[in-house]
Structures are given as structure tokens and as C-alpha cells.
Structure 1
Amino acid sequence: MKVTLVMAAVGLVTVLGVGAKRPSDPPFDPPEMVRVATGEIAFRPLGNFALSGKTRTPRVVQTTVPGFDIMKYQVTGAQYAACVADGACEGARVLAPDAPQTGVNWQDATAFAQWYSQQTGASWRLPSDVEWQLAAAERYGDSAPDPAAADPGAQMLASYENGATLRLKADPALYAAGTFGLNSNGLADVSGNIWEWTDGCMQTGTLTEDGRVAKTDPYCGVRIAGGVHRAAVIDFVRDASGGGCAVGLPPDHLGFRLVRGE
């Protein structure tokens, strides 16, 4: 009997690997997932760009984004509360267990992804900004001014007007998950009243004469949030409506959803 038990233990170590940790039971039912197929987007980086010393808007560039699996719904209050209860996430106000979790910053969202990865044994992460744009499909909004606009004041005014027009579709009140329906990819509540954290960073750089990016450097203390329009928000800010939005109009609410896989 002892020999059998020892052999079984050795076999378990062989399967799991020395020092390997078996994932605990998932803290909540697995989230519904959506497969977003490989596709092309018209992408322009968000940030501060200049041509010959003058502020300009980059032109869009067709960009291929590999397919990925992403949560159908945003992370809910109940899901986030499980991370808080486990001591892995900072506390945040939960409006309702089945409502999307808001009032979280990029660091909170990243901590949740790391915790959930440990809990499940799978890899979970925030989407990149290009992945988020591909997933958002027809609900992606771009408030950038015309690349041909040369006057900085006119650029700021155009960006504000574009963003304000897009925001007519958003409602500052919060609702249960699914309230804003599905987009063509099958994702719920994309570009509703919640902006979603991504791993994208604000960019600073220069442009060529035709408006393409010649050189760019990321500033990752400011992250890109996708929503009715994109916003660049300081990574520790939980309520951008009260300040902390580096570029563009501030989001009404900050939440997130995760991608599964590396």
C-alpha cells in the first residue's frame, strides 16, 4: 500500500512538475467568451505628434490584428469582489453584483488579471489597444481631428466636438451587464457608458510629410481606454471624470474585460 501511494505521488509530481502549483477551484463560473477573428483595422496611435515642430494628427494605417478570445461581458462587481476578498485587489465600490465593475484603474484591472490567471491556471490579460479596436468593430469611435488641420486651437476644438457628438450615445447611469446589447462580434456593452482599460500606451512622436508616424515613443504611465471614443488616462486614476485624462474628453466610467491567452 505504501509503495502504491509513493508511486502515485511521484507520478503526480511528474505530471505537475517540481514545485508546480495546482490551480484552486475557480472563484466564479467561467466567463462567456467571444472569438474575434484575425482582421484589419484603420489604426492611428493616440498621443502627441508633431510635423516640423507643429502639432499634427497621424493618418490611419491599415493594421492586421491576429485573432484572440475576449470576455463577452465586462468584469462584474461580483467577480471583482472575489479578488478583493482574496486580498489580491484593491477595494472598489460595487453598485450591483451583476453590473459591470467601475471605479477601477489600470493597476486594479492588471492585478485582477494576474489573480485570475493564478486562480484558473490559464493566462488572462488586458487587450492591447489594437485588439480592443478590432473587437469593438462598428462601435469603435475616433474623435481625432482631421490630419490636415494645422492650427492647434482648431485641432482641440475639432477633437472636442467629435468626442461630444459620439458621446450622445452614452448614458452616465449604470445598468446591468447586457443593457447596451451586442456588437457584430458578439461582445456586449461595447462603447456603452463604460470605457475599458487596455494595455495600450499613449504615444509621443513625429510624423512624415504624408502624415505617417516617423518616430514614436510610448509613455506607459498613461494608458488607452477604449469606449465611445478613445481616452488616454493616467494609470492610477479610478475616476477620470474628476481629472487624470491626459488626452481627449474624460470617460464617464472606467471598467475592463480580459483576453484569454498570451
Structure 2
Amino acid sequence: MARRVAIVNNKGGVGKTTVAVRLAEGLAKEGKRVLVVDMDPQGNASEMLGWTYDPELKPPTISQAIKANTEGAARGVIQPIGWDAPYAGHIALAPATLKLENRMAEAGLSCAWRRLVTALDGADDHVDFTLFDCPPSVFHLTQLALAAAHDVVIVTEADIYAIEAAKRVRAFVEDRAPKDLANPTLTLRGVVINALTATAVQAEQRDSARRIFGDLIWDPSIKHRTSLAEAGTDAVPLTDPRCAEPRAMFELLTQTFLKAVPSA
């Protein structure tokens, strides 16, 4: 079974998807096999990895695998990504569309939070890491991922509201997940500061995050760079010469990931 890692924050817009996708890219460049499970109905990770929903072919998505509630159902929704890169074959995708929101209505069903665990049973044995790109909440869709995960990585910005949201995630992982999600070994492995700018306010908030989370803060922080955002919008890997600095930052962050997250 893969080592499963949930990428989380309770606040939107902090760059969870960017970090999830670029960590998947960095791991693939290291020769690791990675499955990205898109747990956000917006489907941004799916799009960023070059996947497009075809309404005529109607490709299966993670929503259908969760709904099936049968062991290994995710095997039938795992697909290749759309990048043209030598390491693209090391990354697979369980994509999402807005229909994933339908699973929210099932939150009250008996053991509904176990459905992703069931769907992935045996389906990700062929990869080294499964990364869950979670929506900006700690409600049902994120809880599905946290019930299935071994580890959690929080993504935040150097912003008071993002940091407060990160603290809520830490509290949920440490206080509620062991009992409510029957996942007592779920472990917070790190906090990534994303989209850092060279301002005094951001520096102050970065230092505040370091005081709050201590050694959980990963280096390097990811600086705000337009080229990184453009690569995401264009659904391309960080191979363009314009992306040299973001590529180097995520290569270093990948090394931090590999040191902090145990292998499967």
C-alpha cells in the first residue's frame, strides 16, 4: 500500500493544489510513483495535471469510486495525466468534477467516512505515495481523505487567517481524527508556507507561524512567483526556463518531504 498524505487547510486560496501537484512532480522526478487523488469538487488538481473531462466519453472520477463503496473501486478511475514530460508516467490521477459534491449528502450514512478507504483498498498498491488534494474545509470530503491518510501536510500563507485555519486543522488531526475517524496513527508531518512575498507584514506572519508550529514548518518556504501561477493555469510541468526558481524551490521541498514522511 502507498504512503498516503493529505494536503489540507481549512482556508481556501492558500495554494494546497499547487503544493500537491508540484510535490507530485518533484517526487516523480525522484523516480517515485505517485497517485494524486483530487478530493476537491473544483477539480483544480485534475486540470493542473492536464486532465480534461470529456462529456461524451464520461471518464470515471473519484466520486464514482466513493459512491460504489466496494473494495478497490478506485482502480477503475485512475488515469494518466496530460503532461508532456519524461517523468509524467510516474504520476497517475484519480480526477474530480463538481459531481464530487454529491458525496457530501451522504455524510450522515453509516460509516460514510470510510468509503474512500474502501475504494482505495488495493488500488494504490502500485505507487509509492498517494497525495490527497483536499477542499478548503475539515468537513466530509476532507474527512474521507483524513480517514484514509497516514500523514497530513498543512499548506498556509503568511497570513493571520490562513494561520488560524492551519491551527484548526492541527487541532482536528490531533484531537478528533483518532476517535471520530478511527485513525489514531494519523500524523501531522509538516506545514508549508506558500506564496511568500518580501514584505514586512509577511515576514512578521511567517515568524508567527514558526513560533506556533515550531519544527513542523518545512523549508524552503515557497515564494510568490508569477511563473508558478502561470504554469498551473497552463497545466504544464515546471520544465519551462521561466520556471527555474519555482522548480528549484519545489525540488528542495521534495527533499524535505522525503525526509519527513516515512516510506510505505
TM bin (shorter chain): under 0.3
TM-score (structure 1 length as normaliser): 0.25
Larger fraction in strand: 1
Higher CA-based Rg: 1
TM-score (structure 2 length as normaliser): 0.25
Larger fraction in helix: 2
